[in-house]
Amino acid sequence: MNMDFNDVRLRYESLSDEIDDAIRGVLSGGRYILGPVVEAFEDEFARYCGTEKGIGVGSGTDALKIGLRAIGVRPGDEVLVPALTAPATAIAVAAIGARPVFVDVSLTDFNILPDECLERKTSRTKAIIPVHLFGMPAHLKKIAKAGLPILEDAAQAQGSDANWGRCGSFGLAAAFSFYPTKNLATYGDGGMLVTSDAMIAETSKLLRNYGQRENYSSKILGENSRLDELHAAILRVNFRQLDEWNRRRRAIAEKYREAFHELPLGLQAQTGKSNDHLFVVTTPHRDQLRSYLEECNVPTLIHYPVPLHRQKAFAEFGPARCPNAELLCSRVLSLPMHAFLLDADVGRVIESVHEFFKRKM
């Protein structure tokens, strides 16, 4: 049987009865937006992250946008973002009229470089968005020395732990995505902002719902971005499995790390306990390795092929010097990683990678 790159379909199959029941429960309950299921999931997930409040929103991108606005970032302000991440990190900044300033990343752990954050800070810089890339915690304690509000982009880091605590608990607020491929996901779009700051929680609640506390009376110019009851019901079922799924991912990552340590492959340095959202290797022979793995029916992806400062959409924010991000984009390759990979699949990935280097040497 062909191996899947991720377990979106397999996860559903493993819980289909419970998920179908949860969906039916919402449909017959008559409450579809901002109801008890969203509230329960907000409380559960905020607690899991080590924070006081969760605000369910429409997507991870919206969690970033709403988080930035709640922190007080205004049009024209600058926000530091890593050059190696999903475009959504910087899109969120631009979407509220602020300017993303691209900062280079580490060649070892692939996360934003704290020293460069200090160098890029100006009087216009109003926030930093460190990303826990591929689930690996960013160096938030060092980044905090810049003295700027931190909005964690924890879209890929549900359940990752660092020496400063759980991802999502350190910054003024943190944005999560529940996009179908994430470690904790729904079958559609969804996201959450978590925070222990009462003001940010209150403002974010207004922002996601037309700026309203009571119906038909807007206090601020909000938007419509609400996690709905159906997705929250699905997420509550999946959430019960998150720790177990993360344990399986970590066991697979451990096997990959052991099997690859003598090969000429770069591996993401471990800054904490990743949830192993993605398992990424680096090699100057990336494209050849990828073609060889394709011949072996081992699916791979590239996260990410182009650094943000080289993408057309961000040209208006001017040039940036991010040589590490550029080098990584030419070398990164994501191997199959999910909670439903069989030991035989893991063995086949390892064998195929070894075979490639045996032929190459």
**Of residues 88, 103, 253, 335, which one binds ligand PLP by CB under 6 A?**
88
- Strands (E) located in the chain: 53-57, 78-82, 99-103, 125-128, 151-153, 161-162, 165-166, 173-177, 191-195, 212-214, 217-218, 266-267, 279-282, 332-335
- Could you tell me the sign of the dihedral formed by the alpha carbons of 66, 69, 70, 73, in that order? positive
DSSP for residue 263 = S
Judge contact between 272 and 137, C-beta under 8 A. Answer: yes
Query: Could you tell me the two tokens for 214?
Result: 């009571």
Judge contact between 222 and 55, C-beta under 8 A. Answer: no
Contact range with ligand PLP by CB under 6 A, out of 84-92, 93-101, 198-206, 214-222: 84-92
**Of residues 60, 82, 137, 168, which one binds ligand PLP by CB under 6 A?**
60
Q: What are phi and psi of 336, to 5 degrees?
A: -55, 130
Q: Using the minimum distance from each CB to ligand PLP, give the nearer residue, 134 or 292.
A: 134
Q: Pattern of binders to ligand PLP over 112-151, x per CB under 6 A?
A: -------------------x--------------------
To the nearest whole angstrom, how small is the minimum distance from the Cβ of residue 250 to ligand PLP?
Answer: 19
Which of helix, strand or coil describes residue 128?
A: strand
Q: Using the minimum distance from each CB to ligand PLP, give the nearer residue, 236 or 348.
A: 236
Examine residue 82 and tell whether it contacts ligand PLP (CB under 6 A): no
Q: Is the peptide bond before 187 cis (omega within 30 degrees of 0)?
A: no
To the nearest whole angstrom, how small is the minimum distance from the Cβ of residue 304 to ligand PLP?
Answer: 9
DSSP for residue 262 = T
Examine residue 111 and tell whether it contacts ligand PLP (CB under 6 A): no
Contact range with ligand PLP by CB under 6 A, out of 22-30, 80-88, 278-286, 332-340: 80-88
To the nearest whole angstrom, how small is the minimum distance from the Cβ of residue 50 to ligand PLP?
Answer: 20
Judge contact between 337 and 253, C-beta under 8 A. Answer: yes
DSSP for residue 106 = -
Q: Using the minimum distance from each CB to ligand PLP, give the nearer residue, 180 or 299.
A: 180
Which of helix, strand or coil describes residue 227?
A: coil
DSSP for residue 345 = H
Q: Pattern of binders to ligand PLP over 191-230, x per CB under 6 A?
A: x---------------------------------------
Kindly state the number of chain residues that form the binding site for ligand PLP, as judged by CB under 6 A: 15
Examine residue 275 and tell whether it contacts ligand PLP (CB under 6 A): no
Examine residue 89 and tell whether it contacts ligand PLP (CB under 6 A): yes
DSSP 71-88: HT--TT-EEEEESSS-TH
DSSP for residue 135 = G
Examine residue 103 and tell whether it contacts ligand PLP (CB under 6 A): no
Q: Pattern of binders to ligand PLP over 151-190, x per CB under 6 A?
A: --x-xx--------------------x-x---------x-
Q: What are phi and psi of 333, to 5 degrees?
A: -145, 130
To the nearest whole angstrom, how small is the minimum distance from the Cβ of residue 28 to ligand PLP?
Answer: 28
Examine residue 102 and tell whether it contacts ligand PLP (CB under 6 A): no
Please give the residue ranges that form the binding site for ligand PLP (CB under 6 A).
59-61, 85-86, 88-89, 131, 153, 155-156, 177, 179, 189, 191
